[in-house]
Amino acid sequence: MKQSPKISVVVPVYKAERFLHSCVDSILAQTFEDFELLLVDDGSPDSSGKICDEYAENDHRVRVFHIPNGGANKARALGVAKSGESEYITFVDSDDSLPPTALQDLYALASEEYDIIIGNYDRNPKRYADGEIDKLELAKQIYAYSIAPSPYAKLFKRELFDEKTFDLPRDFVMGEDLIMNLRLAFACNGKIRIVPAVVYHYNDNAEGIMSTFNYTLDYLGRSYHFKKSVIPEPYREECMPYCIANILMMNHVIVGHYYHHKTREKTQLHLQVLEDIRNYGYRERWWERCALRFSSPMFSRLYLGIRALILWMKKIKRRWI
């Protein structure tokens, strides 16, 4: 009887023909060999599905699943469900790749003590330091983006996954990774280990959803609902200030409502955030206080103008570095 691989690598594939060879080749070239690769063709209209099948024909470690388009979240869920009895799950996006020792560097610290092992990725401006944290600290750092809320560069124990891990509406396509990571963090019974090694090559794809998605106030409200509801009751008091800070990173979307609709009337999201600030003792930063307390068409126009200027100056600075 064939023994289950130690790691299942799950790759959702959609319109990835330009990057797929680089991605899959980097996984198959790993120095750590005890893994399986699950390519989930998410109804891709290009030649991605055919490319996946060609890899499966030539390498026994590769398995391919073709499904109607349902989004990356659904594709990851199917990959986990089809992955057999491997000890660990890791995810790779089809437009990214792995350094040769990525799986080896992650699995080297695998033990009963650790439920999640997290490595660095090459585009991370602040490299994670070697060490241990608990699930509460991991959740806080995910909300704060101190640890990337993306699915990649992480090794998860299989037992952390359940039917709720990927339970999100189909049209919730921006931020589903953060919800998944939070659910897995709160499911931990053991510790989380941080690995200083770079275990992931991130490709800044201009056509990807991260570059093309535009938030609306309604979507931001739904996002805030999911980010709040994922916190178990015993951790709510400690985590909610971080959840509030997370949603206020998109404060310009809330502020933009007043400018675009020429109104002073507070939105339901605005009122909910203000109520949560009072209930959980969140200490607003001065620009958050101004935006939340004094919103009006005129103030919002000034706020958005200053924000646009700051973003432009940062863009210019990056070009000169």
Cα distance between the two ends of the chain = 56
Residue 212: the pLDDT is: 64
Instruction: Please tell me the predicted confidence (pLDDT) of residue 147.
Output: 94
Tokens of residue 231, six digits: 């916190």
Q: For residue range 233-246, what is the model confidence (pLDDT) as tens digits?
A: 999 999 999 999 99
Strands 131-133 and 191-200: antiparallel
Q: How far is CA 60 from CA 18, 53, 251, 308, in A?
A: 23, 11, 49, 51
Residues 247, 223: Cα–Cα separation, whole Å = 8
Which helix H or strand E contains 119, and what residues bound it?
strand 114-121
Residue pair 160/184 in contact (Cβ under 8 Å)? The answer is yes
Determine the Cα–Cα distance for residues 107 and 186; give it in Å rounded to an integer.
21
Structure-block tokens of residue 87: 């000890």
DSSP label of 171: T
Q: Is there a contact between 188 and 156 (Cβ–Cβ < 8 Å)?
A: no
pLDDT in 10s for each residue of the chain, 321 residues = 467 899 999 999 999 999 999 999 999 999 999 999 999 999 999 999 999 999 999 999 999 999 999 999 999 999 999 998 899 999 999 999 999 999 999 999 988 899 999 999 987 767 888 899 999 999 999 999 999 999 999 999 999 999 999 999 999 989 999 999 999 999 999 999 999 999 999 987 655 555 567 888 899 999 999 999 999 999 999 999 999 999 999 988 888 888 888 888 888 998 999 999 999 999 999 888 888 888 788 888 888 898 889 888 888 876 675
- Residues 129-142 have pLDDT tens digits of 889 999 999 999 99
CA angle 129, 133, 139 (to 5 degrees): 105
pLDDT of residue 211: 52
C-alpha 147/C-alpha 135 separation (Å) is 12
* pLDDT value for 258: 84
pLDDT of residue 1: 46
Q: How does DSSP classify residue 111?
A: -
CA distance 321 to 319: 6
Residue 156: strand, helix, or coil: strand
What the chain holds in terms of domains, given with CATH numbers, is: 7-210 (3.90.550.10), 214-320 (no CATH)
**pLDDT given at position 88:** 97
Phi-psi region of 224 (alpha: psi -120 to 50; beta: other; left: phi over 0): alpha
88 Cβ contact list (under 8 Å, min separation 6): 6, 7, 8, 107, 110, 155, 156, 157, 158
